[in-house]
Chain A
Amino acid sequence: MDNILQTSHLAKTIKGRDLVTDVNIHVRKGEIYGFLGPNGAGKTTVMRMLTNLWRPTGGVIELFGEKMEPGSYQMLGRMGSIIEFPAFYENLTGRKNLWLHCEYMGYYHHGSIEEALEMLQLAEAADQPVKNYSLGMKQRLGIARAILCRPELLILDEPTNGLDPAGLKQNRELFRTLSREYEMTIFLSSHLLSEVEDIADTIGIIHQGKTLREISMKDITKMNTAYIELSVDNVRQASRILSDQLSLDRFKVTDGSEIRIYTENIETSEISRALAQSGVGLHAISRKTETLEDYYLSVTEGAERL
């Protein structure tokens, strides 16, 4: 079993409205899979279907090598999840909420609650009612609950919501640890692309209810073309100099005053000298590498143009 989770042409329609129409996901065992997409693309819909909260109206979900059916309850015991904001029994303490989770999951492992509380730095607040927790603490308690029973697959919908920078860093390390040391497979969505870029092994991009691309971070890194970005006062004249004088053809105007040159065999000093000699004002010039954000935007914007 290479893929611990995969979907094929997954679709969901509610009251005549297509929420997702063709989602194909392939998550390998032990990897961290970043599920990206703009607001309303269908990320949460997919996650709700993966956790059996919603039933697909089309397509197939395969989890742990088996097809997911409406009665596939046992599969849920091998998963931990957060869908949107985690819900708690607010009058009960954090510790009691985790205890209840273990009871429902049928997981009785001495010290696991303490360990989860320690991992998410909630030990001190463990005996306070959850209603007194801040948003960030609730999010961390949600993660603690999701990992508490050592699931094989973690499904996390925007797990960084409400976390401060320290919490974000701690989460990144936690997810890496869970993936590497505990061999958990993590399927997470986030609107913070930099967060995903740091930890994900594979990226899936969903747009308007369809998966546009699935690609490993290694491949993105390989594809990431280094480019030179320059900001000038006269884009038209600068473009002419780049093509006529410097014989460059791989460049594009990205903004009203910005140009990106995708050629490695030229020095920035040579470009600035040519522009200066022609009287083109150069505000800035630097060598850059495309980030996941650039890749993501190029894929989603490309889809929108279609």
Chain B
Amino acid sequence: MIKLIKLEWIKNNTRKYMIKAALVTAIICAFVLALAFLGIADDPDGTLDAALGAEGISLTVEMFSNMTYLLLTSSMFGSFIINSYKNRTMELMFIYPIRRQRVLASQILAVWLFCFSALILTKLLIYAAVVGVAKAGVWRSSFVIDIHLGSLSFWMILVIRSFVTVSLGLICLFVGMIRKSSKTALIAAFLLFLITQGNVGDFSMAGNKAFMLALTVISFVLAGVVIGRAETGELN
């Protein structure tokens, strides 16, 4: 399986996605630093313009990085899997002496592992930059610096949230596969982000652990359906 995953990375020019991830990290990092230390989102009187309970910088970092990576994960699923059905390279994969389920599983894992690792790295780099600038003491932060790199809970939350975010991409893959369209997968990612992070008045699913757990479970069930269909489905 490891070999199949590596081959997926080679075939799909993963270096391109590494550059994208690095670029995205730099942009989010610059934006978060500007928000925190240059006060670009502050009110004219200098007070922080943030929702009640969102005064901590970690929430902003999580929101931007999760949104970006949900889109990146869906885009990669589109490129690795949905497009390979369209450009017939999936057909090529199915004439090899490898179980179709293994082929699909390796493709899903190739995207999932890349995005999960990249998301953790992105968040770590941004958190480190925020902590570094805060400790330098040159600028005052508008946000509360609620980052404790040395605490176990910080690492656990970092891993769990990254896991959930990247896994939600599996729902987008499923939707994209139904329509055989990578654009549909991207739209699904955007809608999914709105559902999980958006709010209607005071009502929001953000932070609702049961809801996120349910979505994660659904993600893996749908991934199972995608893999299972490869065995029974036929390429036209």
Query: Which of B30-38, B56-64, B86-94, B166-174 lies at the binding interface?
Result: B86-94
Q: How far is the CB of B20 from chain A (nearest CB, A)?
A: 15
The A-B contact count (CB < 8 A) is 54
Query: Which residue from A55, A77, A88, A96 sits with its C-beta under 8 Å from B97?
Result: A77
How many chain B residues sit at the interface, stated as a range, is: 20 to 34
Contact A53 B11, CB 8 Å, known A70-B231, A87-B89: no
- Besides the contacts A53-B91, A87-B91, what 11 more A-B pairs have beta carbons closer than 8 Å? A51-B95, A53-B235, A54-B235, A73-B99, A75-B97, A83-B95, A87-B89, A89-B89, A91-B13, A100-B10, A105-B96
Contact A103 B234, CB 8 Å, known A53-B91, A87-B88, A87-B89: no
Alpha-carbon distance A247/B128, docked complex (angstroms): 105
A14 partner residues in chain B, CB cutoff 8 A: 234
Alpha-carbon distance A103/B96, docked complex (angstroms): 10
Q: How far is the CB of A238 from chain B (nearest CB, A)?
A: 53
Inter-chain contact B87/A55, CB cutoff 8 Å: no
Inter-chain contact A55/B11, CB cutoff 8 Å: no
A52 at interface, CB cutoff 8 A: yes
**What is the 8 Å Cβ interface bit string for chain B, positions 217-236, against chain A (1 contact, 0 not)?**
00000000000000100110
Q: How far is the CB of A141 from chain B (nearest CB, A)?
A: 12
B3 at interface, CB cutoff 8 A: yes
Report which residue of B10, B95, B98 has the largest number of chain A beta carbons within 10 angstroms of its beta carbon: B95
Write the chain B residue with the least CB distance to A103: B7
Inter-chain contact A76/B97, CB cutoff 8 Å: yes
Size of A's binding interface in residues, CB under 8 A: 29
A52 partner residues in chain B, CB cutoff 8 A: 94-95
A39 partner residues in chain B, CB cutoff 8 A: none
Query: Which residue from B11, B13, B87, B234 sits with its C-beta under 8 Å from A100?
Result: B11
Inter-chain contact B89/A55, CB cutoff 8 Å: no
B13 partner residues in chain A, CB cutoff 8 A: 91
Q: How far is the CB of B85 from chain A (nearest CB, A)?
A: 11
A74 at interface, CB cutoff 8 A: yes
B92 partner residues in chain A, CB cutoff 8 A: 86-88
Inter-chain contact B91/A73, CB cutoff 8 Å: no
A77 partner residues in chain B, CB cutoff 8 A: 96-97
A163 at interface, CB cutoff 8 A: no
Inter-chain contact A104/B93, CB cutoff 8 Å: yes
Contact A76 B96, CB 8 Å, known A87-B91, A103-B3: yes
Alpha-carbon distance A1/B155, docked complex (angstroms): 62
Q: Identify 16 residue pairs between A and B in the complex whose beta-carbon atoms are under 8 Å apart, listed by A's number.
A: A14-B234, A52-B95, A53-B95, A76-B95, A77-B97, A79-B95, A83-B91, A83-B95, A86-B92, A87-B91, A88-B89, A88-B92, A91-B13, A100-B11, A103-B7, A104-B7
Alpha-carbon distance A205/B98, docked complex (angstroms): 32
For chain B, residues 55 to 111, give those with C-beta under 8 angstroms from any C-beta of chain A: 87-89, 91-99
For chain A, residues 59 to 109, give those with C-beta under 8 angstroms from any C-beta of chain B: 70-71, 73-77, 79, 81, 83, 86-92, 96, 100, 103-106
Inter-chain contact B97/A100, CB cutoff 8 Å: no
Inter-chain contact B95/A89, CB cutoff 8 Å: no
B97 partner residues in chain A, CB cutoff 8 A: 73-77, 105-106
B87 partner residues in chain A, CB cutoff 8 A: 87, 90
Write the chain B residue with the least CB distance to A54: B234
Write the chain B residue with the least CB distance to A70: B231
Q: How far is the CB of B83 from chain A (nearest CB, A)?
A: 11
Write the chain B residue with the least CB distance to A80: B95
Inter-chain contact B98/A104, CB cutoff 8 Å: yes
Write the chain B residue with the least CB distance to A12: B234
Write the chain A residue with the least CB distance to B88: A87
**What is the 8 Å Cβ interface bit string for chain B, positions 107-140, against chain A (1 contact, 0 not)?**
0000000000000000000000000000000000
Q: How far is the CB of A103 from chain B (nearest CB, A)?
A: 6
**What is the 8 Å Cβ interface bit string for chain B, positions 135-170, against chain A (1 contact, 0 not)?**
000000000000000000000000000000000000
Write the chain A residue with the least CB distance to B96: A104
Query: Which residue from B3, B89, B95, B235 sits with its C-beta under 8 Å from A81?
Result: B95
Alpha-carbon distance A70/B93, docked complex (angstroms): 15
A70 partner residues in chain B, CB cutoff 8 A: 231
B234 partner residues in chain A, CB cutoff 8 A: 14, 53-55
